[in-house]
Amino acid sequence: MRYPHMLSQSQASRATLALFLSLTVGGGLLIGMLSTPDVWYAALNKPSFNPPNWVFGPVWTVIYVLIGLAGWQTWKTRPNGLAMKIWTLQMLLNFFWTPVFFTLHRTDMALDVIVALLGTILAYIYVSYKDGNTRSALLFVPYAIWVAFATTLNAAIWTLN
């Protein structure tokens, strides 16, 4: 007998996916709105490879969707595994970088955070792949590439200022 308050496995999976996407995309949007680039950022010396400001929103939105999908895949396969712990750590570091850079104006501390973030992203890719979760590992590759670029950009801004 089915009870209306019980979700099927498929419904529970979709609900979990919605939660992961809400956490990543919604969290990223919220932090972005609370820590927007300001006059301080506009006045910084930036390297020639600094993209226009309008690029960051769409790129991060796509990346947050990929992060959410990877987290959901990991949760489905090993919710208490090492990859899930690394996923959680990278999410915390990801959300921490923006206020450190844009609110505290600490390009040096932000560089430390983003280097740690890149390390956790690479660790997640490695552990996920080794655990047989190739899909999650591959979903993080564009994220790793973007954060490697962002690390270079952060380092250049720190050096130039």
Asked whether residue 1 is domain-assigned, the answer is: no
Helices (H), 25-140: 27-34, 39-43, 53-77, 82-98, 107-130, 134-139
Asked whether residue 156 is domain-assigned, the answer is: yes
Residue 6's pLDDT is 58
Residue 1's pLDDT is 45
Distance CA 121, CA 87 (A): 8
Residue 117's pLDDT is 98
List, run by run, the mean pLDDT of 10-residue segments along the chain (161 residues): 59 88 94 89 97 94 97 95 98 97 97 98 98 97 98 98 97
Please state, in angstroms and as integers, the Cα–Cα distance from residue 58 to each residue in 25, 86, 158, following that order: 11, 25, 24
Residue 102's pLDDT is 96
The total domain count for the chain is 1
Distance CA 4, CA 13 (A): 17
pTM to 2 decimal places: 0.92
Residue 128's pLDDT is 98
Residue 10's pLDDT is 78
Torsion sign, CA atoms 34, 54, 65, 132: negative
CATH number, domain at 87? 1.20.1260.100
DSSP 159: H
What range does the domain containing 105 cover? Answer: 9-160
Please state, in angstroms and as integers, the Cα–Cα distance from residue 136 to each residue in 40, 70, 112, 128, 156, following that order: 37, 4, 25, 6, 30
